[in-house]
Amino acid sequence: MTGRDLNNVAREGGTAAVRVALANGRPVRKGSERSRAAQVLADDISLDVVFADELPEEFTPPDELVQGLLTIGGGSVLYGDSNSGKTFLVIDLAAAVARGVEWMGKRTEPGMVVYLAAESPASVRSRLQAYQQYHGVRVPNFAIVQNPVNLFDSDADASAIIATIQRLEAKRGQKARLVVGDTLARLSAGANENAGQDMGRVIERFDRIRTECNAHFMLIHHSGKNAAAGSRGWSGVRAAVDAEIEITDSPTGRCAEITKVRDLGTKGERIGFRLDVIELGVTKWGSPATTCVVVPADAPEKPGRDKRMGEVEGAIVEYLAQEKVGVKKADVAKHFGDRYRKASIYRAINSLAKAGAAHEAAGMVCIAQGIR
């Protein structure tokens, strides 16, 4: 390649075109048109590239939807055991976004919420009724999608969700800021939760929805059989999201812990809450019809050794908390004999003793003070 050729490239396509020509080692024909030279960079690099020395000096922080927790256009997973309070907490958070009010001391960016109630629309409706009654407000711009949707079978449901969100935005004159998928299992019906090939398709459509709508997409998910191992299924789901929140319910209280967050520096933060029962009406049998609302509370102490309590340990703690005196280990094993193997029960008792959650001596076991 002659110097004259490079001069032509510089005049016609700029320094970027020269860099590409040198990198590729390709000759540039004399007399090539300006439009062709200007396209050298675009023709040879199909991906979106930026050089570090071209970045602006001024830093632009992440655009937060919920302060220190969720970003606009991002993705998250909130998971926990059944009956841990995860759906109640998500509805409480989503209602705060729809209202544009603080949530657990964190500021929120107001906007429309689209709640994909694939698991139980009636339950979501009643919990929102309880929220409105308890707080004495009407929650605007909180849309509940009551149809079953599936992000595994085909692109059709993803397209329908996007189209619905766009129409709701036009109808209400409000930008959708938060999409909630309740639950990941229902939104991926038919998929093998442990297979990357299946769940990868679900995540691809999850990404498409949040990207095209420029809204944060939060998935509600379940814990695995081993609570210490995190959420259920393919680990790639955790890798694909910007934030992960674990919900736990222990004898010392309920907690939402930020177990992963990109760029916001709040990993490890623990948010305590409790569920207060509220009466909504009367059943046809004349008994009170109740549900719960979320109330802020002090976060319980984190278990020792940064280790979550397993299912067997949690069941034993609940059992021991009801006893005023120590219980024989053999009686604990007998009590849970129809649910767990004897070896698992004894291992759990030893684990609780090592963690300081229980005291063990002379064949007896009792719960430690402060755990009750």
- Is residue 306 very low, low, confident or very high in pLDDT (cuts 50, 70, 90)? very low
How much is the pLDDT for 198?
Answer: 96
Give the global pTM.
0.72
b/e per residue, 199-233, with b = 16+ CB within 10 A? bebbbebbebbbeebebbbbbbbbbbeebeebbbb
Q: Are 237 and 203 in contact (CB under 8 A)?
A: yes
- Structurally, at CATH architecture level, domain 64-296 sits in 3-Layer(aba) Sandwich (3.40)
Q: What is the percentage of the chain residues whose pLDDT exceeds 90?
A: 65
Ranges of CATH 1.10.10.10 domains, the chain:
309-367
- 309-367: which CATH topology? Arc Repressor Mutant, subunit A (1.10.10)
CA distance 353 to 345: 12
| Average pLDDT rounded to a whole number, residues 52-78 | 96
Ranges of CATH 3.40.50.300 domains, the chain:
64-296
- Asked if residue 22 has pLDDT above 80, the reply is no
